[in-house]
Amino acid sequence: MDASGLMMPRAAVTAACGACAGASRGLCHGLEEADQAALFNAASSLRLPARSAVFREGDRANAVFTLKDGAAKLLRALPDGRQQIIGFRFPGDLIGYTARDRYPCDAELVSDATVCRVDRGRLESMSRHCAGLSHRLLELCAEDLAAAQDQLNAMAQKSAEGRVAAFLLMLREADRRNGGTGLDLSLPMTRADIGDYLGLTIESVSRVFAALRRGGLVKEPQRGRLRLADLPGLEALAGSDGAAAPLSGPGRPAHRSAA
């Protein structure tokens, strides 16, 4: 639909949303044409720079956002005033959908990004009259829960190597969900961000990445890009009980690095 409430031609919606990750795997995915057009009419697109906030913890939760491109990190305030990264979000992911009146965390961009904003009240009203949209919201909530479980799995690793390997496999799954190979990855977050998320120092994260490169498990062809060169080796490292360590060669542990 356009601003006057008239149904937009299918070609117009396709042109505006065809390349959006939200259409391929996000909120709009699988909706019928009329429902997708109605959601398009309710949304506004915003281009924001890296390090800007989509919303802050405690802000009134009056909108829901979909990442069309780029990446974001979710942060929660700790009792001592510091902030802890509790998650990363990627193209197609829904951000800010909560049952609370206020957002429970910050959402801050780690790269330049485009977000699609929908008023929360309007979205909830639409979902009550659209079974497809209601079902899609439930699916995305389930995906969010699975992401939280992935984080717990990564944090359960006893070694720094296992945590970083588990994190890289999480990035692989995010890339595959968006149609990528899962082998050549974007790495927009900093080493400090990764360490904060995994409960490691920046020195430990940098040391692990260096060891993974030496062992042939990963390559970094350019800044912000990562190639998973030995997937079985990373999977073995992520699934270890913590006794294993960075690899001196594919499939072979070398030494253990302290967190």
The full 3-state SS of 82-115, as one line of letters, equals CEEEEEEECCCCEECCCCCCECCCEEEECCCEEE
Q: Return mean pLDDT, the chain.
A: 83
pLDDT at 114: 93
89: helix, strand or coil: strand
Amino acid letter, residue 71: A
pLDDT at 245: 46
pLDDT at 109: 97
Amino acid letter, residue 207: R
Is the per-residue pLDDT at 128 higher than 80?
yes
pLDDT interval class at 237 (50, 70, 90): very high
Q: At a CB cut-off of 8 Å and minimum separation 6, what does 181 contact?
A: 175
> Which 8-state DSSP code applies to residue 119?
E
CATH for 157-253, among 3.30.420.40, 2.40.30.10, 1.20.120.520, 1.10.10.10?
Answer: 1.10.10.10
Is this structure's pTM higher than 0.85?
no
**Are the C-beta atoms of 40 and 23 separated by less than 8 Å?**
no
Is the per-residue pLDDT at 10 higher than 80?
no
Is the per-residue pLDDT at 210 higher than 60?
yes
Q: Which of 39-43, 144-148, 216-220, 222-226 has the highest mean pLDDT?
A: 216-220
Domain boundaries, the chain: 43-143, 157-253
Report CA torsion sign: 165, 171, 177, 182: negative
pLDDT interval class at 9 (50, 70, 90): very low
d(CA 41, CA 106): 27
pLDDT interval class at 17 (50, 70, 90): low
What does the pLDDT look like over 147-185, one tens digit per residue? 777 777 767 767 999 999 999 998 998 888 888 889 999
> Which 8-state DSSP code applies to residue 60?
B
Residues facing residue 94 across a β-bridge? 66
Q: Could you give phi then psi for residue 81, rounded to 5 degrees?
A: 95, -15
What is the average per-residue pLDDT within 31-36?
Answer: 82
- If one looks up domain 43-143 in CATH, what number appears? 2.60.120.10
**Are the C-beta atoms of 74 and 87 separated by less than 8 Å?**
yes
Is the per-residue pLDDT at 256 higher than 50?
no
